[in-house]
Each structure stands twice: as structure tokens, then as C-alpha cells.
Structure 1
Amino acid sequence: MTELELKKQIEGHNRRNKELKKVLQSRGLNEETLIEAEYHFWADMHEDAIAFAKRLYDEGFLVLVIAPVADENGTTWNLEVRKRETVKDVIGEPKTAYLVELANQYNALYDGWGTQV
């Protein structure tokens, strides 16, 4: 991915995070509330998904899913991880940029995060 593509992806996630912050606040959570955030990634190659999952595990994430998903281009690998963090950390621009750039190092795409409230 080019630097411009990475920048656009980061900006898109940051816009979405601002909206998600409003949703979380409307449900009574503040920036210091701890949540179980699930992060979603896609990788083209099984080997990349495995290596990336190991890296995330080494950084304290719990690996939930590494699974193939058939699509029109063949097989893509779904990677889902979880980590207990504050809302501030989850939605923060530094975390978003880090995950987008880290995913790119493993030929993967960061697809965002979710949580149950």
C-alpha cells in the first residue's frame, strides 16, 4: 500500500471512531472506561495471517479467529483479536495509525474494531 493509501485508510478509521465515540458516550461510557475491543483484519495469505497473529499475540492481544473466507478472488484470511483497553486508547488516532501500518507490514488490512456494550 502506498503512503497516500495508508493515510486515507487512517483518516477513514479516525472519522468512524469519532462517530463510534458518540455512540459509546450515549450509552454512558467515557474515555477511561475499559472495554473488550475486538479488532478485525484481512490478509491475502495464510502465512501472513499467522505471522501477524503471532505479532499481535506478543503485544498482548488474544487471538480469536484465523479463518479462510472464500471470495471472488480466491481465499482471504480473516483475523480477529481482542484486547481490554480504555475507550480513549481504542479510538485514539495513534492506535489507529499503528494498527493500519502494522497490518500493512504483514500484507494485511485493518478493518476496524467493535465491542459489546
Structure 2
Amino acid sequence: MGLIDKFWPSKNHTTTKESTHQLLEVPENWDFYMFDIDGQPASYFLNLALTRIAPILDRSTLLWVEIKMNHSREDGLSSSEEFDHLIEIEDQLIPALTTRLPALYVGRLTHNHLRYFYFYCKDGIDVDPILHKIMQSYPDYSYHFGQKVDSDWSTYFNDMYPNEEIMQSISNRSVIEELLNHGDNLEVERPVDHWIYFQNEMDRTVFSKAILSLGFEIIQQDQVEASQNFHYQLQISRSDSVNQQSIDACTIQLIKLAQQFNAQYDGWETQIIRN
């Protein structure tokens, strides 16, 4: 896979020092996405790489801190007017909890005029004194916090982690950013190649017939080694522009079609067009 492999964000690690002097290696791949919750927009900022180590046995309690925004937008998201204050609070809150307590920060949610910070921590820790000390410096902001047992990290996996379509949109955005860094004109149509993997040859054959009506052409069909039971590869291509809206619509269409055949969509690549 060309651009997808080359342009995917780097995966880093941080080492968190615990009060027991043990070290917890934490992979990092932070990204954001928009979502709809009860008809209102929501913005998630999340460490996607935690799927590689979660759930963590001794981080079985979910801790959330809720801060009411004072100058949010009408749609409930944060405003540029309040940006500096919110970042200032965040820059104090997260280090205080993660360095003084056995707590791991996993992400935040902005929604309905509120900003939530989510951590997974050991059971029974007392966060009240730390939060009270920090928020004393911000008397205009009201806050609340809560904890619940979540040993399987269901909130992270089921409520926060993006679904397949959103993950693909995040991947698309990453590729688009790299194309722009190379001077690409996203609006110019050019051949865009896509890869799909199937569990059997029959599904691949029927899928191939279906995508011909959508204007795609078959580039290559192979049988490959695979860690899972998806040995039948299909490479297809169609001329498209690669702005976010266009490529999202294309890839989501292919993902949904692939799901009908128990197949896996595996990304796209294209050439750089500067004119």
C-alpha cells in the first residue's frame, strides 16, 4: 500500500511513572473526529493507539472530569473566544492527575456546552483535593467529576473509539494532509486505487461485478498470505478528486459494499497532481 502506509501518522510511545515506581509503556496516536450525539455535534480527541494495550488490568476504573464552558458556541462546541482558557485548564488538569495518581488520560469530549476529560485509573483513588486545588484558580468555571468500574474499558471502546467509517475518514484526512504538503491540487480528478480483501473467491467475483456499475475497473486480483482468513485480494481504480468530502463518500461506499460480502476495505492510494 503506497500513500496509506507512507502517510499514516507516526505511532509514538510515552512512559508513565507510577507511584509504585513501575513504568507503564503507553503507545500514542492522538487524533480527532466529529460525531453526532442526540442530534447535536460532538468533538472527540482520543489516543487511538490504546487499543494495542487496553484494557489494562490495574486501570479498571473510569474517571471523568466535566467542565461547563462559559462562552461556547450555539451548537455546544468550544469557541475561539474561550480557547485559551480551556487549554490552560487542560494543561494543568491532565499532568496533575497523571503524574500524582495512577491515572492514564485517554481523551476528551466536547459536547452540549461541556468538556469532558476521561481517564482510566486504579480503584479507590481520591481526586477531589487535586481538582479542587486546580479549579480554585478558575472560580468562574463549574466542574463535576465521577468514577465507575469499567474493567473492560467499554466506554473507551464502545462510546469513544470511532467506528470503521470514521476511522477511514481519519485515515483519509491524514493522506490528504500529506498530499497538500506535496503541493497537490485535491480537486483535480485522477486515478485512485483501492484494495479490498475477501475470505473466498466467490465473494470477490460477485463484488467485482457490483463495482463495475459504479464506474470502477478491475486492476488486479491475487491470492495472498494473510494473518486472518482474507486471502483474496482485489485492486480496483476509478478517476476521482481527493478532497475530504469526495474521498470520504467514495471510501464509505466501498466499506458498506465490502461489509455485504464479509470483506475488508484496506485503503487507497493515488499520484500527486500539482496542476
TM-score by length of 2: 0.37
Partner of 2:170: 15
Percent identity over the alignment? Answer: 24
| Counterpart contact for 2:191–2:270, Cα < 8 Å | yes
Partner of 2:218: 63
Once structures 1 and 2 are overlaid, which stretch shifts more, 72-81 or 13-22?
72-81
User: 1-side partners of 2:251 and 2:170: how far apart?
Assistant: 11
Aligned residue for 1:107, secondary structure, equals coil
Q: Hey, which bits of structure 1, 4+ residues long, moved more than 4 A?
A: 72-75
Partner of 1:115: 270
Partner of 2:259: 104
User: Which of these two proteins has the greater Rg computed from alpha carbons?
Assistant: 2
| AA partner of residue 95 (structure 1) | C
Is 1:83 equivalent to 2:238 in the alignment? yes
User: 1-side partners of 2:201 and 2:168: how far apart?
Assistant: 25
Matched positions, count: 111
Higher relative contact order (CA 8 A, sep 6+): 1
| Counterpart contact for 1:63–1:82, Cα < 8 Å | yes
Match of 1:47 among 180, 193, 202: 202
User: 2-side partners of 1:16 and 1:73: how far apart?
Assistant: 22
CA RMSD in angstroms comes to: 2.0
Aligned residue for 1:100, secondary structure, equals helix
| Counterpart contact for 1:38–1:113, Cα < 8 Å | yes
Q: Do the aligned partners of residues 27 and 103 (structure 1) sit closer, same or farther apart at CA in structure 2, a change above 3 Å counting?
A: same
Q: Do the aligned partners of residues 42 and 26 (structure 1) sit closer, same or farther apart at CA in structure 2, a change above 3 Å counting?
A: same
Unmatched 5+ residue regions in structure 1?
none
Unmatched 5+ residue regions in structure 2?
1-157
Q: Do the aligned partners of residues 74 and 10 (structure 1) sit closer, same or farther apart at CA in structure 2, a change above 3 Å counting?
A: closer
| AA partner of residue 38 (structure 1) | D
Instruction: State the shift of 1:96 in Å.
Output: 2.5
